[in-house]
Structure 1
Amino acid sequence: MNERFFAPCPRGLEAGLVDELGALGARDLHQTHGGVAFRGDWALACRANLESRLATRVLWQVAFGRYRREEDIYRLAYSVTWAKWFTHEQTMRVNVTARRSPLKSLEFITLRIKDAVCDHFRMVHGSRPSIDTANPDVRIHAFLNQDQVTLYLDTSGEPLYKRGFKQAAVEAPLKENLAAGILRIAGWRTDEPLLDPMCGSGTFLIEAAQMALDIAPGLGRGFAFEHLRHVDEAMWRKLRREAEGRRRHAATLPIFGSDSEAVQVKRARINLEAAGLAEQVRLEQVGLLERTPPTAQGVMVANPPYGVRIGESAELEAFYPQLGDALKARWSGWRCYFLSADAALPKLIGLRASKRTPLYNGALECRVYEYKMIAGSLRKPKDA
C-alpha cells in the first residue's frame, strides 16, 4: 500500500524529521512549515509512531478536495468510508485548523464534518458514534487553505511527545520532541558526556538516555491506530518486539542532571524512575552558577529562565552576566546550548554565540544559542 501521511512537528525541526522519517523508510518526503508529508505503507505509519522522536502526530490522509462553502466540506466528509476503519460504538472527535480560509466559522465547519461522519454511519449501520472531546477512540483532523480541504485520521491519539511515563510535571514544561530536537541541533553523540544543569522534570535527561540505550520513545504508550479495524495486529506486535529487542543495557551513562531547587531534582528522579532510567543518570542538587563540570569535555543543554521560573526582569538581568562569567571560568572544553525566547540573552551573557538556530516552543519564537567554551579569549589582538 502507498498511503499519504503527514507528521506535524515543532517549527524548526522539519529538516530533522525528514531525515528521521527517511531512515524509517518513508518515501516522497515533502517538508512544509510545521511538518513533513510522506508516503508509505501501514507498517511505516506504525513504526513512525513508535520510533519518531521529533513528530507530534502521524496523520493519515483519507480525503482531499476543493471547496467554496461549508456544504462542499460536508459532502467530501460524507463520501469517506469511515465505517471501514472504525465502528459506531467507538467515540470520536473532530479538529479543524485553517490558513487563509474564506469561511468565517471553524466551529460550524467542525459541526458539519461531525454531521457528515454521523450521517455516514446512520446510513451504513443505523446508528452513529458518540462524541468525546477529552479522550476519544478516533480523532479526525481537517485542514483548510484558501480553497482546498484535506481530511485525516489521526493514527497517534495523544501527542507523540507524551511518551507515557512522566508522572511529576513542572510549570511550563519542555515538550519531549522539542528536547530531542535540541539534542539533535547540538550534534550530541550518545557516547559524549551530557549535562542539563537546570533539569526541571528531567526531559533532556530522559530523551538523551533513551537515545543512548536505543529505546524507542513510543514503547511506554498506546496509539490510536490500535483502535482502527484494518491495522494488522500481527505486524504491529512484530514491530514492538523488534524495538524491545534492540534496547541496550548499561549500568550508568555519562548523563548528568542538576537543579538549584530540591523539588525539581525530586521531580526529575520520579520521572527517571518511571522511565526505568534512574540508575543510568546521575542527579544532584546544585545551582548552575555554583556547579563544576563532571568531565573535562562534554555538551551542556539547558532551558534557562526567560520569565517562566525566575520571572522578574531585574533578576534575569543579574543572572545572565553571572551565567556568562561561570561558563568562562569553569566550562572550558564544553559546548553549551541554551533555548531562549529572550532576545536579551546573547547581549547580557557576555559571550558570542557561534550559532543561533530558530525554533518554536509552541507559538513562542525561540533560538537555540550555541557557545563553544575554549580556554582564553576568542577575540584577536588589535595588532592582528
Structure 2
Amino acid sequence: MTLHDFFAPCPRGLESVLAAELEGLGASSVQGHEGSGRGGVRFRGDWRTCYRANLESRIASRILWRLACLPYASENDVYEATRALPWSDWFDPALTLRVYVAAIQCPLRSLDFITLRIKDAVCDAFRAASGSRPSVDTLQPDMRIHGFLDARTFSLYLDTSGDALFKRGFRNEGGVAPIRENLAAGILALAGWQPGVPLLDPMCGGGTFLLEAAQRSLDIAPGSGRRFAFEKFKGFDPGLWAGVRRTALARQRPPVRQPLFGSDLHGTAVAAARANLSAAGLAEVVMLKQANVLEISAPAASGILVANPPYGVRMGEPERLLVLYPALGSVLKKRFSGWRVYLFSADPLLPKHIRLAASRRIPLFNGARECRLLEYRMVAGGMRGVRRSDEGPLPA
C-alpha cells in the first residue's frame, strides 16, 4: 500500500472538525493548519482514502495531492522543480489545465508571473515527453494545478476533486447571501449537532443548514451525485472507486421525516429551500414553514438552533437590525429554554445588541469575510452564572 501526501483546504476556523472527519475516513498523520492563515488540513493516505475523502467529506473544499515540496529562491527554481516532474505519468496532454498560486510571505514579486512559469513548465514537460501539450481552460479545466509558496518552500499539488467539494451537485436556489455547504456542515460539527437531535433554522434562506443536516441524518455521501477529477487520472482505479461508492451508498437510509425544522420570514426563501430539498430528494425529511423569527416557538423541549442572521452590510438596514437583535435575544430567552443557540454573523453589532452572554465565540471565515460563531446556552432564568469560554465547549 503506497501512501501519498494530501492537503484538504477548508474555510478558516474549521481545521479541527475537518481533521476529526478525515481521521474517521481513514486518513493518517493528520495535521491541521490553525493559525497559519491558510485554512486546511494535511494528511496521508492511499488512493482509497483519497476517493473516500472526496466522496464523503462534508467540510473539505478540495482534496489536493502533493506532488513536490522543495526550497526555492527564484522564479527559475519554481520552473525547474515543476519541469522535472513526470506530468505525462499522471494525465493525458489532451486534457485542459489551469494553474492557481497562493502565497504567504513570498519574497518574489509577482504571483501572476509565477503562475505563468508553472504553466510553461508543465507544458514544456509534456512537449518533451510526447510532442504535445495541454491547453489552458480558465473556466472548466480538466486538471487544476495548485502552487503554494511560503518564505522558503514551494509546494505543488494536483487537484483530485475538480469542482469544489461544496458543490454537491443538486442545489438549485441560492437564496440571499448563502453560506457554502461545507461551511454550514462545519458549523453543525462545531455546534456538536448529531442526527436525531432537533435542529431549527428560523432564518433558513435557501436551506443550506437543513440540507446538510438532512444528508447527514440519512448518511448520504455528499459527493454521491457528482464526478471528480481523479476519474481522469492515468492511475485511476475504477474497480476501487466502484467499491468505495458501493460501500457508501449501502449505508444510505431512506428519506423519512427527521426532527429538522426550518422557517423564514419571506415566502420566496421558503420556496427556495423547498426547491433545494426537492432537488436532493429530501423534501419529506425537513419541516418548513413561513414564519417571523420573533413569533416562533421551540418545536421540541431541547435541541439546537442555528442561524445566519441578517447583517448590515448584506441588508443595508443597520437601524432595523438594532431593533431586531434585542428582540431576537428576548425571544430566545423566553421560548428556547433548554436549547443551545448558534448564530453565525459578520456583524459586530449582533453580540453587543442581542443582550445575551455568549458561552463561546469561534472565529470563522466566510470567504474572505471574518465572522464569529456565537454559542448561547439557554437556561431557565437567562444566562446568569453560565461560564464564558472562548476556548471550547462548556461541559454538557
Q: Return 92-101 or 28-37, whichever deviates more.
A: 28-37
Q: Note if 1:48 corresponds to 2:48.
A: no
Choose which of 232, 251, 273 in structure 2 pairs with 1:227.
Answer: 232
With 76-85 and 301-310 compared, the bigger mean Cα shift is at 301-310
**1: CA distance, partners of 2:142 / 2:305:** 40
Tell me, yes or no, if the aligned pair for 2:202 and 2:264 is still in contact at 8 Å: yes
Stretch moving more, 343-352 or 208-217:
343-352
Greater alpha carbon shift after TM alignment, 131-140 vs 167-176: 167-176
Structure 2 residue 272 is the aligned partner of structure 1 residue 271: no
Secondary structure in structure 2 of the residue aligned to 1:268: helix
Matches within 5 A, 1:1-384: 1-32=2-33, 33=36, 34-379=39-384
Q: Give per-residue Cα distances to partners, 1:95-115, cap 9 Å, x unaligned.
A: 011111111111111111111
SS in 2 for 1:192: coil
Tell whether the 8 Å contact from 1:55 to 1:160 is kept in structure 2 after alignment. yes
- Paired amino acid for 1:243: A
Deviates more, 1:153-162 or 1:338-347: 338-347
- Distance (Å, rounded) in 2 between the aligned partners of 1:264 and 1:308: 19
Distance 1:313 1:284 in 2: 26
Q: 1:186: how far off?
A: 1.1
Post-superposition, which runs of at least 4 consecutive aligned residues in structure 1 deviate over 4 A? Answer: none
Bigger mean CA offset, 229-238 vs 242-251: 242-251
1-structure distance, mates of 2:116, 2:298: 56
Amino-acid identity (%): 56
Q: AA paired with 1:181?
A: G
- Cα root mean square deviation, aligned: 1.2
| Structure 2, gaps ≥5 residues long | 386-396
How much does 1:16 deviate?
A: 0.9
Contact 2:204 2:307 in 1 (8 A): yes
Amino acid at match of 1:272: L
How much does 1:18 deviate?
1.1
| TM-score (ref. length: structure 2) | 0.94
- Contact 1:305–1:311, Cα closer than 8 Å, also in 2: no
Equivalents in 2 of 1:110, 1:84: separation in Å?
22
Letter aligned with residue 121 of structure 1 = F
- Whether the 8 Å contact between 1:97 and 1:144 is mirrored in structure 2 is yes
How far did residue 343 of structure 1 move? 2.0
1:190 corresponds to which letter in structure 2?
P
